[in-house]
Structures are given as C-alpha cells and as structure tokens.
Amino acid sequence: MTEEEKPRSSNFIRQIIADDLSRNKNNGRVHTRFPPEPNGYLHVGHAKSICLNFGLAAEHAGGQCNLRFDDTNPEKEKIEYIEAIKDDIHWLGFDWEDRLFYASDYFEQLYDYAVHLIREAKAYVDSLNLEEMREYRGTLTEPGRESPDRNRSIEENLDLFKRMRAGEFEAGQYVLRARIDMASPNINMRDPTIYRIKKTRHHRTGDSWNIYPMYDYTHCISDALEGITHSLCTLEFEDHRPLYDWFLDQLPVPCHPQQIEFARLNLNYTVTSKRKLNELVDEGHVRGWDDPRMPTIVGMRRRGYPPAAIRDFCERIGITKNDTVIDMSVLENCVREELDRTTCRVMAVINPLRVVITNFPEDQEELLDAPYHPNLPEMGSREVPFSHVIWIERDDFMEDPPKKFFRLAPGREVRLRYAYFITCEEVIKDDSTGEVVELRCSYDPQTRGGSAPDGRKVKGTIHWVSAAQALETEVRLYDRLFTVPEPGRLEDWRATLNPESVRIISGAMLEPGLLQAKAEESFQFERLGYFCVDAKDSKPDRPVFNRTVTLRDSWVKQNKSS
RNA sequence: UGGGGUGUAGCCAAGUUGGUUAAGGCACGGGGUUUUGAUCCCCGCAUUCCCAGGUUCGAAUCCUGGCACCCCAGCCA
C-alpha cells in the first residue's frame, strides 16, 4: 500500500496534460521544471510546487522534471541557498538526476537573442531613469507614453547594448526594453525592461557580466531551451503569460512551452512569504530558518514532519486557481497518519509527579516487556524497568476529580501501561504551598503485564517511567506560531505572534532506552504525541526532543466544551 | 472609467460533452472496539452549487445581468 497506489484526484493541470497527450502534442512528452530563485529557504508553499512538478513528471511514462535555479539577480542570491534547496528537494523525496540547470548557464544565449530582438526592431536601449520610466508607464487606467528613445536606430541600439555589456555605463544609465505596446491594458506589455546594468559579482558567473536579464525574458527562454512542455507557476504570473508567449513568438527558440498558473498555498496560523519568514529570522522571533515552528522545509524537517506526510498533504489539498487558506489540521492529520504507522511507542513523562510503590521492595528492579506498536507486532518490543519509585504525569492525578476522569485519584486504581495496577493510598503535599509532591500507592503483583486474573477492570491506563533508570532531558513543546488564522493579512502581523509557541521542558523523564535514539528519529511518547530527536541540540548522552504534533485528544476537547 | 483571475458545506475539493439520491478529505457531532481518552470501525453532516433572471422535459454544468474577493503600475522573482 505505497502512496503511489493511492488514487489521485483529478485537477485541471492533469486534465490539460491528459488532453495534450491524447492529441500527441509535444510528441507525447511531459517535461516540467522547478525553478527556485536561490535567495532564501524553501517553505511549504514551495513543497506544493515541487510535488506538483516532480509528481506530474513521475506519473507519466518518460516524464522528466528539471531543477533550474533562476539566478538572474546576483544582488539577492547566494551560493549557500543553492545547496540548501537541493538538500530540501532530495529530502522531500524527489530527484532531478542529471538535469540541474541555472538560468545563468544561458546568459550568452540570452544575450544573442536580445541582439536578435534589437535587429528586428523589437527591442531598444532606453535612457529613461527610474522615475521617468514609472511616469511614462501610465497607470492602471491610463495608457503609457512612448519613450523618446523608442525609435533609436538599430545600429545605435546594437552599439549601446554592446557597450552596456562591456561595462561602459553605470547601473541605471541605460536599460534594454522590449518594444511592444505602451498603450496595452496589460502593464506588463508596456515595453518591459529585459536587461539592466548591474555591476554585481554573480555567484556563478563571477565578474563576466555587467548586465543581467530580467525574469520575464529569461524564464520563457530557459523553458524553451530545456524543452519544457508545461511551465507551471503561481497565479500572480497570469498577467505575464502574454509576455511569456510574446518573447517565444519573436525568437527562433526550439519550442514553445505552455505556461499554466495555479494558486499558491496558504496555511492558517502561519505565514508563507519569503519576506515575512526572513523578517521572523532577522528580528529574532524564531531561532533560525530551521526553527521547528517555521513552515520552511528545514523547519518542518527539524520538527519531525516526515517527507511522506508532506507529499501526502500536497496531494490532498489539490491544485486549483482558487485563492484559499488550508487548515493546519489537514497537514497535522497527514503527519499523524504517517507517524502512526511508522513510529515506535515509548514512554516519557513531561511533567513528573513522584509515585512511591509502597509494597514494592526498595532495592529491587524488574524488567517488563512492552511492545513497540500495539497494532503492529512485527515492530517488536523492548524491556522497560520498574522499581520502587516511578514518575507519572501530573495531569494523570486529580485530588478531586470530575465524574468522567478515569485516571488516578485518592483511593482509585489504574493500570500502569504494560506493568501493574496501582491504587493511590496517600497524597503527600508540601506543607507550605499545599502542592501535591508525592503519591503513595500500592501495586497488585497479580496484575503483572496489565491484566488481573480475577477479571477486574480499571477505567484508566497511564504511562510512567521508573525513576532510578529514567533519562532526564529536555523536551520542547511547540504550538502554532501565530494566534490568528491569517496573520499575513494584517499590517501589524508581528503583534499576533504566539508567545507560547514553544515551551521548553528541562526535566522530562524518559524511559532509558531512548538514550540510543538517533538524530531525527521519531517516536510516539504514549498518550502525549509524536516527538523526534533534535538534530542540532542533542548530545550523545543527552538527546533533546521536539514535539512534532500531539495525539488527538478527546479528553481535553471534552473539558474545553464543558 | 483599465486588464487578468476566482466563486460548490466551517476549511479544502471532485463534478464542467446539461440527465441518478452533488464524490472524497479535514474539522465537527454520535456510537462501537481498545492495556494510549490514540489508532481502527460504523453513522451523521450542502433539497443545493455567489445572487437574480432566462433556455430546457431536465442546469452546479448553457445564456444574460449583477455582486463579492484576489492579482497587476520593480531596472524583484
């Protein structure tokens, strides 16, 4: 039952491709590409695009998906982002094989095509400055005006463009513009800039260029050079499609890919804009791009979200042109579903309350067999120590419990998971504060393993950890980063950051076997949630755990409603 | 007074060549199983598809007119 066997639901892009295939368009090829700009870390919105592009290629025989870095703005891009992006894509489970490309690989070809446009009188060198250019562009409701340079001779354009490349001019002095239509109702067609002067060192081409091509010009040509059949991008590029097609129609390119736009992903209680994520990091609201609260791929990875869960999520939310906000619970559900079938169950006490088993010998230790997964016996089992003093969860005891509380209370009997029934006989409190500091319980030796020979039942089963052998360590409990569903819509979105988005628990008590846990390994801490070993802050003798997601809990739900 | 898009349940989303009782998931509510108040399993959850007209024996699907929301005036992508 691999995820590849799950029926995939229909969407408009799959339909377009099926239709193209039935008409033998592109000779039956399906070739997509994922085109990140290496100017930041990938987030869950990019995951949607990665799954779409690589997924579409994978579901068609012979389909391919390229990885292409859209590196046309050296001022914002860094080589380290390139490596991080590659890691993220591989981690998500996708592979571009030998098809790793860079828009900068095409700079020479792009330059030649620009010369071609100039020769055809389809492009010209303009000396308007930024403000003038804006003024000449017109507004949304008024047409623009033609630049005085628009009818410069081809020879002069060729000469100036060559000198732009040679570095004879300073940034801003000239730009190369496409000669289209200053009166177009589509502002993108009002003689867009296609080359600007930037005397910036490029992370791949070094100092060899003084001019860099713009996105609209570069992207469509790169697609064509790579033989892309379906160029998928987000909705805000819909208005750019006429321009995408215009360039390809003017130039002797090998093919004319089809640009198709889909809606970007929005998730509630978080933000998915590179700019805002950047600000969260820069302003110190989180501890880096890989902070487990971040919706970045590295953040989700560190949080313990399995790549299969993210892929499943991307498939479930569908692909449309609707502007939507997906409920975080959908993602969390995918994570729980994946973790439920893949993780070992272990016991950990996050908020410990000391329990003395009065009738269990003080110097004795006993090993109890505990399966790793109640529904998957093939996952095996381990032995957990039991002794005179154990820790239980403070929330599992109430001195004066409400009627539906099935856990421990004075005089009550509960089952210790995979161990014994215990009965609470005495509650020890701190004299001055009145706080419960210890419970004295007796155990029934007849109930070893958790069932009573006399058939008597107990309502509750609680988890526990033997005190003498417990591994004391740090556990971090994460919650949503924002307190409102759509922080991104607010001007003052920082004010809605959740002050309790992380709680550091320094004295959690875990069963001793967890000392062997490996970096990034996930577990279910029974009755609490799924946790993973933090890959950065753990030490060989002291793993630190991140809570990935809680278990569903109808008890807290019931209490909230009452 | 410009152009480009989108409107099916609380949140996503199938359905679109007009023809069953409008898929499925999340969320929610109810019940069963259970040594995790987990998992799992049942059951419920839109007489109605943004609104108003029209065409038709028949419309979420076709036509007309509205309304709402999103995107666009970088030498960013």
Give the ipTM. Answer: 0.97
CA-based Rg of chain A, rounded to a whole angstrom? 31
Q: Is residue A53 part of a domain?
A: no
Q: What is the pLDDT of residue A4?
A: 46
CATH of the domain at A373: 2.40.240.10
Q: Is pLDDT of A292 > 50?
A: yes
What is the number of structural domains in chain A?
A: 3
Exposed / middle / buried, residue A393 (Cβ in 10 Å: 0-12, 13-18, 19+): buried
Q: What is the pLDDT of residue A562?
A: 46
Q: Is residue A161 part of a domain?
A: yes
List pLDDT tens digits, range A441-462.
999 999 999 999 999 999 999 9
- Neighbouring CB atoms inside 10 A of A394's CB total 15
List pLDDT tens digits, range A345-387.
999 999 999 999 999 999 999 999 999 999 999 999 999 999 9
H/E stretch holding A196:
strand A193-197
Q: Is the CB of A559 under 7 A from strand B?
A: no
Q: Are residues A124 and A209 in the same domain?
A: yes
Please say if A394 is a catalytic residue.
no
**Chain A residues 296 to 355 with C-beta below 7 Å from nucleic strand B:** 316-327, 329-330, 332-333, 336-337, 340, 345
Query: How far is the C-alpha of A321 from the C-alpha of A317, rounded, in Å?
Result: 12
**pLDDT band with cut points at 50, 70 and 90 for residue A3:** very low
Look at residues A462, A491, A508 and tell me which one is the last residue of a structural domain. Answer: A462
Give CA angle at A212 (A74, A164), nearest 5°.
130
Percentage of residues in chain A having pLDDT higher than 70 = 98
Please say if A332 is a catalytic residue.
no
Instruction: Note the CA–C1' distance, A239 to B49, in angstroms.
Output: 29
Instruction: Identify the domain containing residue A440 by its residue range.
Output: 349-462
Q: Are residues A491 and A416 in the same domain?
A: no
Q: Which nucleotides of B are covered by protein (CB under 7 A)?
A: 1-8, 10-16, 23-29, 34-40, 69-77
Q: Is residue A257 part of a domain?
A: no
Backbone angles phi, psi at A177, to 5 degrees: -120, 150
Q: Are residues A530 and A562 in the same domain?
A: yes
Q: Is the CB of A33 under 7 A from strand B?
A: no
Q: Where are the beta strands (DSSP E) in A229-336?
A: 230-234, 258-262
**pLDDT band with cut points at 50, 70 and 90 for residue A560:** low
- Neighbouring CB atoms inside 10 A of A129's CB total 13
Q: Is residue A438 part of a domain?
A: yes
Look at residues A462, A486, A504 and tell me which one is the last residue of a structural domain. Answer: A462
Please say if A448 is a catalytic residue.
no
Q: Are residues A432 and A370 in the same domain?
A: yes
Q: Is pLDDT of A148 > 90?
A: yes
Q: Is pLDDT of A290 > 50?
A: yes
A431-438 long-range Cβ contacts below 8 angstroms, 24+ apart? A436/A353, A436/A394, A436/A397, A436/A399, A437/A354, A438/A353, A438/A354, A438/A355, A438/A356
Query: How far is the C-alpha of A274 from the C-alpha of A295, rounded, in Å?
Result: 11
CA distances from A159 to A85, A109, A180 (A): 39, 18, 21
**pLDDT band with cut points at 50, 70 and 90 for residue A540:** very high
Mean pLDDT of all residues belonging to chain A: 96
List pLDDT tens digits, range A297-349.
999 999 999 999 999 999 999 999 999 999 999 999 999 999 999 999 999 99
Q: Is the CB of A8 under 7 A from strand B?
A: no
Q: Is residue A297 part of a domain?
A: yes
Query: How far is the C-alpha of A225 from the C-alpha of A544, rounded, in Å?
Result: 48
Backbone angles phi, psi at A479, to 5 degrees: -135, 180
Q: Is residue A88 part of a domain?
A: no
Instruction: Note the CA–C1' distance, A477 to B45, in angstroms.
Output: 33
List pLDDT tens digits, range A21-52.
999 999 999 999 999 999 999 999 999 999 99
Q: Is residue A551 part of a domain?
A: yes
Percentage of residues in chain A having pLDDT higher than 90 = 97
**pLDDT band with cut points at 50, 70 and 90 for residue A2:** very low
State the residue for tokens 């969260």.
Answer: A280
- Provide the token pair at A114: 């620009």
Is A106 in a helix, a strand, or coil?
helix
List pLDDT tens digits, range A208-249.
999 999 999 999 999 999 999 999 999 999 999 999 999 999
Q: Are residues A329 and A477 in the same domain?
A: yes
**pLDDT band with cut points at 50, 70 and 90 for residue A558:** confident
- Neighbouring CB atoms inside 10 A of A350's CB total 23
Q: Where are the beta strands (DSSP E) in A218-257?
A: 230-234
